[in-house]
A and B are shown apart, each in its own frame.
Chain A
């Protein structure tokens, strides 16, 4: 009853571990899949070269969510391939590899290399600054550039490609259209929002060493719902709806906005790693009560006149 599909990849349930939460190692992805009930798991974003990330503090919680400036730390693609291979071999659910680059050409190279580890889906994190662009703006802010990145990734792999979008734009529907036209098999939305800042008033300083950080968790859910709603209106390809999803009701909400699956990140903190199974049983309960028998029936239902 909870089965869903992402560009031909079948999921037993629509809960998907979001990138950057727990997925630094293959073993942690396997645990979330085999013991915590996730329908698919996304690994931490990986780049061509190793990145140490920002100095600590890199993550703090506040009343309505969290701020993070982990800084896309990762050991680089060559060190990371064994982690993905381990997950693919042992998770028993689709494994989504997440990639990013600082130049357009890097995306193609990483996509080619990660394909050797045979993940079920390649997710492309384009919410990172483009060093080739004199303004250093993220790739995800411009429909043209997002399209160029999509094409180069598609050219370098046969694995389904999902482009992960940022909601820090005024035209997310347009960007979604551009990546669909460029061959994307799906969209993940949204990445963190803001960035935001928190200042400790006794210390009289911003808390994060990077000063600002991406916002996630319950506070950003309405932004994620609206983004998915707008994307669904603009494109036909499947969407992993992510951002503040913590309960079964939240997951249903984002599916009704148009998502085929629900990405879950910060809720691992609020409800523990068991959040995936909890959300599944809460969804089931709702569906029984409301007479739904499949995810498909609910997908995009909020758009009906």
Chain B
């Protein structure tokens, strides 16, 4: 299991996505599928799971949002600096077998794996609706990249500074009324994903979500990211789950465990 050991690479390019979000591009054949993640290692600082935000032959990208000491240290890195990673790990989004339009619903930096999925879906000849919600216009991600890829882009902001003022889930709800959508893919705050599952259930459209918990080993050994009551580790049997499985997880939208295993409500 070679890809489970660290590979250290130099950053070949960086892209500033928003004031506190940056993408790092590496020249490396990662062979990741949309929804999968890597364990990103900044030597001397730490290691965190980061979802793959793009992957083509010979190149992949990771998008990091400054939320804590680790991610803020990564944001300071420049082209030519070294980063380590192991992976890709976890389950991936699966496009429906039959042709048909798909929709993605991302909240905040939840759009990272969805941008990757959208590009894969376009390459497979699908019609893609890319819905994204953020607090303000500055925080919206991948608008240009998605438009250039030929995706239908819909934005919602809390303050109405761009797109509609309101919730991204409202856009999804309307879209499902107006268009024939064969599957929905979502990633973001659990409350948004739960709402999306409800909307899709009503319209009988299958949906996949991305659910995360505190991860340490990334390979299904340490048990830190096991969820109640299914007892599955999200690093191995997640992060991508179908909506029905997510709804069976008692702690979905309710609580999580911290680094010690203590329940945080």
Contact = CB atoms under 8 A, between A and B. Distances in A.
A20 B230 CA distance: 19
A75 B262 contact: yes
Given A61-B5, A73-B259, A75-B260, A205 B221 contact: no
B217 A73 contact: no
Interface string A154-185: 00000000000000000000000000000000
Given A79-B263, A202-B82, A22 B223 contact: yes
Interface in B245-265: 257-263
Interface string A249-280: 00000000000000001101100110000000
Contacts of B258: 52
A52 B216 CA distance: 12
* Candidate in B1, B259, B262 with the most chain A CB atoms within 10 angstroms: B259
Contact of B220 (A20, A24, A44, A269): A269
Contacts of B43: 200, 203-205, 207
Interface in A1-46: 20-25, 27-32, 44
Interface size class of A (residues with CB under 8 A): 35 or more
A268 B221 contact: yes
Contact of B222 (A27, A51, A70, A203): A70
Nearest to A50: B260
Interface in B76-96: 82, 84, 86
B146 interface: no
A27 B47 contact: no
B222 A21 contact: yes
Given A27-B228, A200-B84, A203-B84, A53 B260 contact: yes
A93 to B, nearest CB: 14
Q: Is the interface of B mostly helix, strand, loop or mixed?
A: loop
A279 B183 CA distance: 39
Interface in B205-244: 216-217, 219-224, 226-233
B47 to A, nearest CB: 4
Contact of A56 (B216, B227, B231): B216
A131 interface: no
A199 B117 CA distance: 35
Interface in A52-99: 52-53, 55-62, 66, 68, 70, 73-76, 79-80
Given A22-B226, A50-B260, 8 more contacts: A20-B222, A22-B220, A24-B226, A57-B39, A62-B5, A70-B216, A200-B84, A203-B41
